[in-house]
Amino acid sequence: MFEWEKLGKLFDPKDLEHGSWMHDFAQSPTVLVDDDRIRVYFCSRPAPVDGQYLSYMSYIDLDRNNLLQITHICQAPPLALGDYGTFDEFGINPLTVIRHGEQVRVYYGGWTRCESVRFNAAIGIAVSADNGDTFQRMGAGPVLGYSHDEPFLQGSPRVRKYGQQWQMWYVAGKEWRETDGLPEPIYKIRMATSDNGIDWIKHGLDLIEDKLGSHECQACPDVIFRDGKYHMFFSYRDIHDYKSRQGGYRIGYASSVDMLHWKRDDEMAGMHVSSTGWDSEMVNYPHVFEVDGTTYMIYQGNEMGRAGMGLARLRAPQDWSAL
């Protein structure tokens, strides 16, 4: 079983003493490790207009020698929203950032508003030539979008590169189901592969078996490779009361030897809600990374990150080969 030591809340825009374009939320954190800093990208929102939020990419920099010390907070979104009518006109969330040669790439879920349902989403890509300070889209359309067997939303991209191939774990909508008088999406974890990180082949399979039933929603699968096995940490929740402690997101775990066939064992995950505080109702959208031989998990808390994001350090196992 994994044992995580919670180090505390890392960042919440509401805690800033001075004005910022960020008003609320620190969602979907992902980390870029540099020699002199740890940059944490996430999604945040300005104050709503007429009750409607927009979601933007943002970042903070951490001291590599003290990951709880914030050294810089971005002053403006590094990636603008899409133009009128595009898939990402109203929001960027979630995302993952990865290096490719001299480039830094961001893969992100872009969403647009709808009439019969609240939103739809697809996966976009943008690149940075200035070490991740600003990003520009590779095109106006998504890099992974709707298809005949995935007719609803795609999102939660987590991208890794093992060997010569790129892997993307993402979620695909299965249906919109009326729940408590409103349409709610049901989505499952899937996978796509690519030789260049741009042209993707979907494998067309739901990877993780349901624990809560067919109405379970799964999100933000992050996969790391240790000692001959792939380890996935992901989020899951009920479709009912998912903004509460009872139905809110939890962090699950699954393992695989081939990245396509997974054995789920959520008891192994070792990351639970706290008894009180900013992550007492839900823990979700985990990202696992390593700095100087230590493994960390960064994650969002209550109300899908409205209460901020926090950091945990892996205490055990030290030897992953027996898992």
Q: How far apart are CA 36 and CA 175, in angstroms?
A: 45
Neighbours of 323 (CB within 10 A): 15
Instruction: Give the predicted TM-score (pTM) of the model.
Output: 0.96
- Nearest residue to 213 (alpha-carbon basis) of 244, 236, 180, 243: 236
Q: Check residue 254 and give its pLDDT.
A: 98
Q: How far apart are CA 209 and CA 255, in angstroms?
A: 12
| Class at the top of the CATH hierarchy for domain 3-9+80-316 | mainly beta
Report pLDDT digits (tens) over 87-99: 999 999 989 999 9
DSSP 211-276: SS-TT-EEEEEEEEEETTEEEEEEEEE-SSSTTSTTTS-EEEEEEESSSSS-EE-GGGS-----SS
What are the boundaries of each domain within the chain? Answer: 3-9+80-316
Cβ pair 321, 228 in contact under 8 A: yes
Q: Check residue 276 and give its pLDDT.
A: 97
Q: Check residue 19 and give its pLDDT.
A: 79
Q: Check residue 243 and give its pLDDT.
A: 85
Q: Check residue 230 and give its pLDDT.
A: 97
The low-confidence residues of the chain, meaning pLDDT below 70, are: none
